């Protein structure tokens, strides 16, 4: 989706592993904005000090315009993984609550009021 942003900028040129362009958030005559895509992220740096939010807004975009497809893909993947796991083993969840509480106590870390209440729920659900 970096192409969408690049299409809204002037004097775009390839520079190293990214691009250089005129910043649309200020009156830029010579390119002062670097745009790099790395690890699924778009990195923006304006040498005049404009913030990424100002740049995206001035380009007439919102952040989700740049990451919409990636969000949908990761969301679909998460739903698919959750479905492939099958039903949740509630007994196992409650046992894990107790194991975590026990580990905290052994480490000398007291349980909060909320943690104590959750332990009591786990014990009740396990019939203990």
| pLDDT in single tens digits along all 128 residues of the chain | 788 899 999 999 998 889 999 999 999 999 999 999 887 788 899 999 999 999 999 999 888 777 655 445 555 555 555 555 555 677 888 888 898 889 889 888 888 898 899 999 999 989 86
CB neighbourhood size of 6 (10 A): 13
Residue 83: what pLDDT?
54
Residue 63: what pLDDT?
81
Burial 47-80 (b: 16+ CB within 10 A, else e): eeebeeebbbeebebeeeebeeeeeeeeeeeeee
**Domain 2-84 is found in CATH 3.90.580:** yes
Residue with tokens 């209440």: 117
Residue 71: what pLDDT?
46
Cα 51 to Cα 42: distance, rounded to the nearest angstrom = 13
Q: Dihedral of CA 8/29/13/56: which sign?
A: negative
Residue 78: what pLDDT?
57
């Amino acid at each position: 989706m970096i192409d969408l942003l690049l299409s809204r900028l002037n004097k775009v040129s390839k520079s190293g592993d990214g691009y250089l362009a005129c910043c649309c958030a200020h009156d830029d005559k010579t390119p002062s904005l670097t745009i790099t895509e790395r690890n699924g992220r778009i990195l923006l740096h304006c040498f005049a000090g404009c913030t990424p939010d100002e740049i995206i807004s001035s380009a007439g975009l919102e952040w989700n315009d740049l990451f919409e497809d990636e969000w949908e893909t990761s969301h679909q993947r998460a739903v698919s993984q959750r479905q492939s796991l099958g039903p949740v083993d509630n007994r196992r969840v409650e046992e894990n609550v107790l194991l975590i509480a026990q580990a905290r106590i052994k480490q000398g870390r007291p349980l909060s009021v909320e943690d104590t209440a959750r332990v009591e729920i786990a014990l009740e659900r396990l019939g203990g």
